[in-house]
Structure 1
Amino acid sequence: MTSSRIARRFAERAAEGRSVLVPYVTAGFPEADTTTALLPALAEAGADVIEVGIPFSDPLADGPTIQDSSFRALENGTTVARVLDFVREFRREHDTPVVLFTYLNPVYHYGLDAFCRDAAEAGADGVLLTDLPAGADPELEGAFERHGLDAIRLLAPTTADSRIGEVAAGGRGFLYYISRTGVTGARADLPPELEAEVRRIRDRVGLPVAVGFGISTPEQARAVAHLADGVVVGSALVRRLDEAGVEGARAFVASLREAMDADR
């Protein structure tokens, strides 16, 4: 199987001695068409891979900031089809990899094979389903593979050593390490055991490891960039977008990129 755009981006940054910056945004938030301008702004500010959230009415894994953004996006009339349109529009001018972040329900409601086909056609590179444990749905995993979409897998502090290899075996692109148990949300500090946890994963798998959940400042992004292959920032960016619009979000991502590259 050929290398994906996501895998190539991680390899490129590793060769440069840099960590990959992965910002998350909820499509259709805060206004219905904000995403049209937002995705190019993030790419131009230094995003290496962009996670685009498909809003869902019951986002149990997300904290209050992203839950609120999801509800407001739905109120704005954002649908799966509209999210794919955003990706399609972005792909006309930009080659930054895109990961669709969502839950099983919207995928099955849209239609499993149709979703994978249309996501790939729109230019998406991977899919992260928060409620799909590795190996739980071979049909869905097979559909991702048929359509050339990377299945991005989640690992957590509670993932047993014996399970890490099983999770990674079904994944492509990178592994998303949830640095804390619980829901998403900005935090004031990083877990003290984070370095040891990243090392525990790297000792068992070959995929790049990106760390998310709680990273909210340039200083935290810089610290994580020293430990992991990628840095995921969600709630803090969503909040900045709501407060300061697309230009505020652009400036925030640029500040993360600058901090992450400060020691090169």
Structure 2
Amino acid sequence: MTSRVSAAIEAAHAQDRGAFVGYLPAGYPDVATSIEAAVALAEAGADVIELGPPYSDPVMDGLVIQEATQVARENGFRMPDLFTIIREVSARTDVPVLVMAYWNLIEQWGVDRFADDLAAAGGAGLITPDITPEAATDWISASERTGLDRVFLAAPTSSDERLEMIVGASTGFVYTVSTMGITGERASLDAAARRLVERLRTFGVEHACVGIGISNAAQVAGVVDYADGAIVGTALVKALRDGGVEGLSTLARELSAGTARRA
């Protein structure tokens, strides 16, 4: 089965640009606005959307995303809402929707049940930030059965052996972590990201998208100079918080403009 995420990245490349991957917390600030925000993100130029269900212990998330997920939880978000949001967004845009979720949420829901519900809602796949391929055999089997993409993370500290395993197990793209630590905006991106993408290329990675720390069009342009796409989260969440869906759309258009490949 053809990967919808890979197809979206290839479509961006055919337009001589890198892919723009945008993250939003599912259900923030509430379910209805979350749907409108994701659709607006797609309409503003995102090639792939990531939706993160709120979690009680978001160890990888920076303060902006932690606060947003807390608001979503306080406003009544429950896991079934995730599939409602994906279903509504997928009905209104062709942009593939990935879920980025802590593994405990998937286990609690049931791995096969989650895969079935995600596929039924029109989701494209799952990003698993806190589980490695060798510990994810159940999810790999479920994703192969349902045709969902599985995106694993690669870090600058990963060994060559681990990178080779991550490349072999991932579909859609490899989530390439630009800096170690929690998500959030950085004044400048770590040069380690470029080196990490080079290492992934040696193991035959199809698509490597760089995330964590990208917050403006200039940084997007810098990343797509060597990677297949740029992932933006915190800056988008902040724009939604401060300017509503309109503010989010404005920033997303600016970020999308940064994806054009330089001659």
Is TM-score (shorter-chain normalized) higher than 0.5?
yes
In 2, Cα distance between equivalents of 1:76 and 1:153: 30
Residue in structure 2 matched with residue 179 of structure 1 by the alignment = 178
Runs of 4+ in 1 over 6 A off after TM superposition: none
Classify 1:259/1:139 alpha carbon distance in 2 versus 1 (closer, same or farther; 3 Å). Answer: closer
In 2, Cα distance between equivalents of 1:209 and 1:10: 10
* Matched residue type, 1:222: A
Please state how far the C-alpha of 1:65 moved relative to its aligned partner.
1.3
Residue in structure 2 matched with residue 168 of structure 1 by the alignment = 167
Residue in structure 2 matched with residue 89 of structure 1 by the alignment = 88
Residue in structure 2 matched with residue 76 of structure 1 by the alignment = 75
Classify 1:203/1:13 alpha carbon distance in 2 versus 1 (closer, same or farther; 3 Å). Answer: same
| Percent identity between the two aligned chains | 37
Asked if 1 retains the 8 angstrom alpha-carbon contact of 2:21 and 2:48, the reply is: yes
Residue in structure 2 matched with residue 11 of structure 1 by the alignment = 10
- C-alpha distance after superposition, 1:17-59 (max 9, x if no partner): 2100001000111234211211111111000000011111111
Q: How does 1:128-207 map to 2 (within 5 A)?
A: 128-207=127-206
In 1, Cα distance between equivalents of 2:31 and 2:203: 42
Q: How does 1:12-91 map to 2 (within 5 A)?
A: 12-91=11-90
Residue in structure 2 matched with residue 102 of structure 1 by the alignment = 101
Please state how far the C-alpha of 1:262 moved relative to its aligned partner.
6.9
Considering only aligned residues, what root-mean-square deviation do their CA atoms show, in Å? 1.3
Residue in structure 2 matched with residue 213 of structure 1 by the alignment = 212
Please state how far the C-alpha of 1:151 moved relative to its aligned partner.
0.7
After TM superposition, the score normalised by the length of structure 2 is 0.96
Asked if 2 retains the 8 angstrom alpha-carbon contact of 1:120 and 1:149, the reply is: yes
After TM superposition, the score normalised by the length of structure 1 is 0.96
Q: Which runs of 5+ in 1 are unaligned?
A: none
- C-alpha distance after superposition, 1:198-253 (max 9, x if no partner): 21211212320000000011111111111110100001111111000001001101
Please state how far the C-alpha of 1:162 moved relative to its aligned partner.
2.0
- C-alpha distance after superposition, 1:60-88 (max 9, x if no partner): 11111111111111111112210110110
In 2, Cα distance between equivalents of 1:262 and 1:255: 15
Farther off after superposition, 211-220 or 62-71: 62-71
* Matched residue type, 1:130: P
Residue in structure 2 matched with residue 120 of structure 1 by the alignment = 119
In 1, Cα distance between equivalents of 2:31 and 2:16: 38
In 2, Cα distance between equivalents of 1:166 and 1:189: 29
Asked if 2 retains the 8 angstrom alpha-carbon contact of 1:135 and 1:170, the reply is: no
In 1, Cα distance between equivalents of 2:143 and 2:127: 11
Matched, 1:223 2:222: yes
